[in-house]
Amino acid sequence: MRLLLIEDDAELANGLVHALAQSGHACDAAANGQAALSACAVTAYDLVVLDLGLPDVDGQDLLRQLRERGLAAPVLILTARDDVHERIRGLDGGADDYLAKPFALGELEARIRALLRRGQPSSTQLAFGRLQFDTATRCASVGGESIDLTARELAILELLLRRAGRVVGKQQLFDAIYTWEADANLSVIEVHVSRLRRKLETASAGVVVRMLRGLGYRLETGRDD
């Protein structure tokens, strides 16, 4: 999933970006309102985490502007102002959830997972072929045996599973797992997919990642030919 973190505290932002990457999210960071507006203009985010105390704009005003410009993704607001009026204003202004600073990383991650599950089937379990994928624990398994996958392999697998049987473009996979700062190009997707494919085969997952030249990849059941 592709996330945008709008936070002017560089140390906190860096820490969160790294922690979220460990959980398989590609997270861009914007340090002010202007950077956030530019980011949202060019990237379709799955979720936005917005600190209300920003240097150039009031977070509540920024939220309104983002919604006016068509941002549809869930927004979780962070606020040092643990003030009930501020929270009500945020939720009324288009936020989906809030967390007061200081917060535990585990709680932020749980709230992000909950927001990303909205509009998805209520279960955290995805299944295809013999493969099971728990989106809450980020564990892929076959017959109860977990498969050892990297964060990026898990992110690719999740996207393919959510669209099982349908084609997912290489660029779509790339956008879901790499931030702009990543020194990578589209071809790395082929590397991740080939490793993922090998691991799925070794685990006898009963699914194959088929490449459709020029289109992308599709998760299918059965054997590769």
Instruction: Tell me whether residue 57 or residue 211 sits nearer to Ca ion (CB atom).
Output: 57
Question: Cβ contacts of residue 82 below 8 Å, gap of 6+?
Answer: 100, 101
Cβ-contact 67, 48 below 8 angstroms: no
Candidates 2-10, 16-24, 150-158, 215-223; binding stretch for Ca ion (CB under 5 A): 2-10
Cβ-contact 3, 46 below 8 angstroms: yes
Cβ 12 to Ca ion, closest distance in Å? 8
8 binds Ca ion (CB under 5 A): yes
Q: What is the rounded CA–CA span in Å between residue 82 and residue 87?
A: 8
Angle, vertex CA 49, rays to CA 45 and CA 54, nearest 5: 120
User: Nearest-CB residue to Ca ion?
Assistant: 53
Element (H, E) at 22: helix 10-22
Cβ-contact 90, 83 below 8 angstroms: no
86 binds Ca ion (CB under 5 A): no
Cβ 9 to Ca ion, closest distance in Å? 5
Instruction: Tell me whether residue 9 or residue 201 sits nearer to Ca ion (CB atom).
Output: 9
- Footprint (CB under 5 A) of Ca ion, residues 24-53: 51, 53
**Per-residue DSSP letter, 142:** E
> How many CB atoms sit inside 10 A of residue 191's CB?
11
Among 130, 176, 214, 199, CA closest to 27 = 176
Instruction: Tell me whether residue 10 or residue 136 sits nearer to Ca ion (CB atom).
Output: 10
Give the CA radius of gyration of the chain: 19
| Binding footprint of Ca ion, residue count (CB under 5 A) | 3
Instruction: Tell me whether residue 51 or residue 86 sits nearer to Ca ion (CB atom).
Output: 51
Cβ 80 to Ca ion, closest distance in Å? 7
Cβ 53 to Ca ion, closest distance in Å? 4
- Footprint (CB under 5 A) of Ca ion, residues 118-137: none
Candidates 4-12, 61-69, 106-114, 193-201; binding stretch for Ca ion (CB under 5 A): 4-12
Which residues would be at the binding site for Ca ion (CB under 5 A)?
Answer: 8, 51, 53
